[in-house]
């Protein structure tokens, strides 16, 4: 009988041990459980912060198209153009970087003109004497190369924009006010030169000859330049080959001068990158900048990534060019813009 009781005791203990929860299950009591959906509509886990940053960086930049954004009075994001003549010249085909239905374009997807041509003859001087700043240049870039023009048939750019023009020296000479003043009225932008970069290369406004966004439609080289019919190499936006980084104090980099004497500065201030929405109708703003070695709170234009890129109109009084054209260029549009006492010249024609 005692033997039977001992056997029953062992069996009972075994049953109790087998029915007890495992130690790890007891440790999870009170913890929040993670529910994993079992249906076909399982939702993927959210990306980690680094994965989100990588995905954002990989997405191509998208910018609004400036096609047809003419203004007659000055308007933020538009160009007050002296001439609205429309032609079919310029780039003749669109590519994957253009989405004209949604009026946007993708700069990272756009091709550029091939080539790395250096210009030893490039020359630019910018001097201040009294109240006058004198800019003299031959319009060749002093600090960077250009693409090969005319565009070669072997170049991928050739299927979109067969620019047939050859880059050549163009005399540029301006006398601008060292300390420009705001005018009571704004002025329109001519189709030719509206400013000069520190590289010696002229800035044109943001339109091509078809009234379209020139930066989006026309194919420029790696430094964002190309020549017009008379061979004048020019930018429609800030060049990727110039310094646009702010200085150690966060003041934006000066990249050139508008024909009214005001500076054209890079959009990066160190704390933020300005866009068109941050600027006035002429694409400018009043803030502290370094001007001739001193920190000054003054009006200036800002070269943004979005249309109209450099300027929308003149806030000061634009100067006329003092350049003299060679005899064989008689009848060509003046190298410096609109002639004194008259309206703007016809835009340089480029097939």
* Total domains, the chain: 1
pLDDT of residue 349 exceeding 60, the answer is no
pLDDT of residue 66 exceeding 50, the answer is yes
Q: 294 in a domain, yes or no?
A: no
- Give, as one character, the DSSP assignment of residue 75: -
Q: Is the pTM of this model over 0.85?
A: no
Lateral strand order in the sheet of 132-137: 124-129, 132-137, 172-177
Rounded to the nearest integer, the mean pLDDT of the chain is: 80
pLDDT band at 58 (very low <50, low <70, confident <90, very high): low
The residue segments making up the domain with residue 194 are 59-85+92-242+316-329
pLDDT for 87 equals: 66
Q: 226 in a domain, yes or no?
A: yes
pLDDT of residue 205 exceeding 70, the answer is yes
SS3 314: strand
Q: 44 in a domain, yes or no?
A: no
Tokens matching residue 53: 């940053």
> What are the φ/ψ torsions at residue 194 (nearest 5 degrees)?
-120, -10
SS3 183: coil
pLDDT band at 150 (very low <50, low <70, confident <90, very high): very high
Predicted confidence (pLDDT) per residue in 89-98, tens digit? 667 888 899 9
Beta bridge partners of 176: 133
Predicted confidence (pLDDT) per residue in 262-297, tens digit? 999 999 998 899 999 999 999 999 999 999 999 999
For the chain, give the percent of residues with pLDDT over 90. Answer: 68
Tokens matching residue 70: 């003419």
Q: 346 in a domain, yes or no?
A: no
Tokens matching residue 240: 């990727």
pLDDT of residue 105 exceeding 70, the answer is yes
pLDDT of residue 194 exceeding 60, the answer is yes
What number is the average pLDDT over the span 143-153? Answer: 96
């Amino acid at each position: 009988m005692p033997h039977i009781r001992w056997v029953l005791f062992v069996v009972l203990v075994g049953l109790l041990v087998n029915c007890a929860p495992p130690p790890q299950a007891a440790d999870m009591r009170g913890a929040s459980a993670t529910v994993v959906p079992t249906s076909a509509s399982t939702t993927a886990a959210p990306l980690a912060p680094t994965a989100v940053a990588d995905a954002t960086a990989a997405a191509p930049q998208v910018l609004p198209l400036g096609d047809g954004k003419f203004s007659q009075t000055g308007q933020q994001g538009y160009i007050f153009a002296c001439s609205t003549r429309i032609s079919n010249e310029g780039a003749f085909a669109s590519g994957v970087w253009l989405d004209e239905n949604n009026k946007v374009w993708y700069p990272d997807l756009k091709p550029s003109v091939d080539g790395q041509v250096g210009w030893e003859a490039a020359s630019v001087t910018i001097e201040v004497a009294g109240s006058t700043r004198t800019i003299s240049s031959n319009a060749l870039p002093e600090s960077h190369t250009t693409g090969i023009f005319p565009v070669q048939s072997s170049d991928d750019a050739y299927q979109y924009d067969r620019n047939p023009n050859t880059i050549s020296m163009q005399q540029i000479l301006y006398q601008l006010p060292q300390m420009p003043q705001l005018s009571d009225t704004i002025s329109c932008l001519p189709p030719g030169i509206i400013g000069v970069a520190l590289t010696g290369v002229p800035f044109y406004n943001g339109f091509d000859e078809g009234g379209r966004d020139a930066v989006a439609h026309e194919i420029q080289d790696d430094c964002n330049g190309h020549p017009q019919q008379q061979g004048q190499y020019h930018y429609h936006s800030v060049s990727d080959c110039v310094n646009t980084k702010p200085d150690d104090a966060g003041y934006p980099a000066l990249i050139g001068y508008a024909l009214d004497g005001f500076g054209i500065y890079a959009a990066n201030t160190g704390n933020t990158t300005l866009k068109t929405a941050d600027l006035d109708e002429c694409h400018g703003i009043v803030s502290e900048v370094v001007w001739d070695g001193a920190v000054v709170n003054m009006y200036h234009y800002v070269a943004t990534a979005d249309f109209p890129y450099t300027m929308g109109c003149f806030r000061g009084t634009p100067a006329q060019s003092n350049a003299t054209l060679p005899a064989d260029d008689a009848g060509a549009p003046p190298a410096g813009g609109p002639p004194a006492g008259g309206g703007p010249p016809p835009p340089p024609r480029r097939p």
